Amino acid sequence: MKKITLPPGSKKPLLFAIVLAIFGQGCAQNEAKPVAVQAPAATPPPAAVAAQTPAPPPAPIIQQAALDRLKQMSEQLAATPSFTYHANSSIELQAVTGQFLTFFADSNIALQRPNKLYAHIEGDVPSIHLYYDGSKLSAFDPQKNLHSASPQLATIDEMLDFVMGKAQINFPSADFLYSNPYAVMTKNLTHAIVVGKSKVNGVPCEHFAYMEPGINWEIWIASGKTALPLRLAMTYKQVANFPRFLVEFSDWNLKPKLKADTFVFKIPADAKLIEFAPVANGQTQAK
């Protein structure tokens, strides 16, 4: 999947980081913490060293059925001219105490290929509106009356690359919005397996699991011809305590009636323009 791996306690996914990155809201930066001084440890015997050596990663396992269903889902999303959906997400972020806290957000997304996107995000973050009108991405915080604008971006793919590259915003569910989701999601796969049949909020689906060098992820895809994603879960293996990200998708509409101005940002009076800025490294401090 095309994702930026989280360093310990930093870089949130778009549902949270876009507010922090653009508008500087949210939790405070990491405070200095005392370091305990310890006496040098005695050199362990060779047998103890061998016992502490981590086990090698499991041999790659690729089940074709897990790839085929993922490709079917991808092709359907890529072939759909426009769609809307609702997402409810949660992510674990580390506080200055070392404890991992859970933050939640709700978002409503509207996409029109090849170059239109709208998102309204709210929850454990200030409300935020995103508009991509085919030329630039605009972000607006109605509570602070602040907005930000990107340079010229020709396609949704370019816009998403800007979000996760220039703005350094991790956006795990962005994979579904690319023009070729399957290519993005399978680029670094080492494992792909079928877990089995399941249900998400009462909807029959199939559960699949995948592994990459830094991330384990799972997806629940609706059964039948619809093949729409219903849930996505990720575990960041290179971060202490393996924090998780979870998002559930609902209210999919593959034939929405979108108004022409849905993707157009009209700058409110007296709104202040500020630049996109990457999220600072460091742990999140709970208020």
Tens-place pLDDT, residues 109-138: 999 999 999 999 888 877 889 999 999 999
| 14-25+60-273 is a CATH 2.50.20.10 domain | yes
CA–CA distance, 258 with 90 (Å, rounded to integer): 28
- Cβ pair 102, 92 in contact under 8 A: yes
For 68-106, the pLDDT digits (tens) are: 999 999 999 999 999 999 999 998 888 899 888 999 999
Cα angle, residue 185 at apex, residues 84 and 23 outer, rounded to 5°: 60
Q: What is the pLDDT of residue 40?
A: 41
Look-up: residue for tokens 């092709």?
Answer: 75
Burial of 248 (0-12, 13-18, 19+ CB in 10 A): middle
**Contact between 169 and 14 (Cβ < 8 Å):** yes
> What is the average pLDDT value for the chain, to the nearest integer?
81
pLDDT along the chain (287 residues), means of 10: 46 41 34 36 52 68 97 97 95 88 92 94 84 94 92 94 75 85 95 98 97 95 95 89 91 95 94 76 35
Q: Global pTM?
A: 0.78
Task: Find the Cα–Cα–Cα–Cα dihedral 106, 112, 117, 119, rounded to 10°.
Answer: -20
Q: Evaluate whether 84 touches 110 at the Cβ level (below 8 Å).
A: yes
Instruction: State how far the alpha carbon of 50 is from the alpha carbons of 54, 57, 194, 242, in Å.
Output: 9, 16, 34, 25
